[in-house]
Structure 1
Amino acid sequence: MEAILMHQPGGPEVLRSHTIPTPTLQRDTELLVRLRAAGVNPVHTKIRQRGPYHANALPMILGCDGAGMVEAIGPGVRHYSVGDEVYFCHGGLGAAPGNYAEYTVIDERWVAPKPTCLSFEQAAAAPLVLIAAWEALYDRARLGMGQRVLIHGGAGGVGHVAIQLAKLREAHVCTTISTEDKANFVTALGVDHAIYYPRIDFVAGVMNWTGDQGVDVAFDTVGEPVLSRTFAAVKPYGDIVTLLSPTPDTDWKTARTRNLRVGYELMLTPALQGLTQAQQHQVRILQECTRWFDAGKLHIHVGQTFPLSQAAEAHRLVESGQVIGKVVLQMPAG
């Protein structure tokens, strides 16, 4: 099969196409999935730059998000059959092969039925961002009906899903955008207020929107220096959740004086630490989102697709920060 291997950390050029053996079932509860598409996320570019989370994992296949069709099942599989369409977030961190490949083997516990209304490309774009946004807004911030929430980068992969999840909780949503196209995009998603941050101070914009109260919840998808500045946009006793790590310059004083509850969202933690119950929770998130997609309550936007062989170009585009929605790799037809 064709797969994109990374033999050493570095720039996008380290991602190279190779022909390797197709994986085989090793356990009774595993599925052999013919991948049709794989999502490309910013975390994959970071792993490519610095190396895998696990020691001695090179060469490795990147890619956590995948969607495809079941081609073979182990004798202990109970919930899936050959021909079923599935999607999932699994592998690609170093311990298990990722999804920049034509095939993968995965335990049936870690897959969910693909939404019937989505293409394989759309389905492959969804898992990581769905889980990250759900855990940040619902599990960490406990977002509730009528609350006001600031979502940074609303036109991005996580951001555009977070807007929709917030609206499903009947929250009022404000987001930051950098272009007119992105403003039109988030408006179509139902955002209540968009702040054009290159020209307008987003803290001032939030205060104007909330009558100088601040938002109940802020979701930082950008990192410093935006994280520190966001503390001032959250009302006292409010919540802020970030996808990124703080730095030595993070302004904890403002967060403390406003008595904010600060949460971190790293949706990879269950996979990295082998937390089975947390992984099962993430699969339940995908199962619920499958129902919402098929009911027309959720949508995923694929900004651009690339053939598998052009994984390096896909990484370059993701690193440019110019994508609306998600970037996806398509597998060779066959």
Structure 2
Amino acid sequence: MRGSRQYSLGQMARYLLVLFVILSAVSFFISNWLLVKTTDDLALLEEDHEQLNDQYEMMLGTQNLYKNELDQLSVSLSRVASQRDKLQAENIRMGDKLYEGNNRLGELSATLDASLNGLETLLNVEPSGDMSPERLESLTMMANQRLFMLNSIPNGLPIQAMRINDSYGMRMHPIHKKRVMHRGIDYKAEKGTPVYSTADGVVEYAGNRGDGYGVQVVILHGFGFKTNYSHLNNTEVSSGEFVHKGQKIAESGNTGRSTGAHLHYEVRHLYSTLNPAPFVAWNIANFDSIFTTVKSVKWASLKNLYPLNQTIQP
């Protein structure tokens, strides 16, 4: 009896050992599969993050990059044009005695031509071949008008996000589990990520209305536009406060009806919501795109407004 019992216990131990080895092997393969899948997912997330980061660097904040380039070009062009005109007048007065002056005049003209070409490239307009001071004035006016619009109407990214969770349009609601209209873009971002105003304006509301949007900031902009930044962790502006494009107004969070930290961003015109995507992509180089992409806004009447009605020579 004792020998039989020892044999049974030894056999059971072997069975348990085999079972342990099998479970360990299965666990090993499952762990490795999960590790590979997680690594792939992290690589995709990192790639998405890098792409959004590149977009952020290109479009977020004020148009300071364009404005600084424009200011530098304007100063340089004005100085070169002034020197060229002065030297040209001296050459006319002195005749052929100013051979060196003629050489200098050629250098200044070449500099002016190159700078005007650079300004045309910045504005993404067709090269005209006209390198006159009048062309400089026309291009400078065009750039200033574009910057005025880009500071008045929402454009660029409101946050440096990891990725876009949901775009504008019909979707399955993550909480109510039914198809509803999603009236903005959801940017996935860690709690506490800075949120920026996408245009100059005045804060209409900052706080929590208890309407599901959680802590939110609503900003009134020029020409009847409005932006909404929702599910925030906190705000850094208050109602009635004036804000400028690129100003930090809040930090992202997970307040209201939300399943994770993100920013819900809306663009509205009067009483209607608009797809924010064309406005996010809008900048000084593709300036005319917004007028054909967003057809629900009556853009044509803008031409009668000052300073947009100032004459620009083609």
TM-score > 0.5, shorter chain as reference: no
* Interval of TM-score (by shorter of Structure 1 and Structure 2): under 0.3
User: Hey, which of these two has a bigger chunk of helix by percent?
Assistant: 2
Higher relative contact order (CA 8 A, sep 6+): 1
Larger Rg: 2
TM-score by length of 2: 0.27
User: Hey, which of these two has a bigger chunk of strand by percent?
Assistant: 1
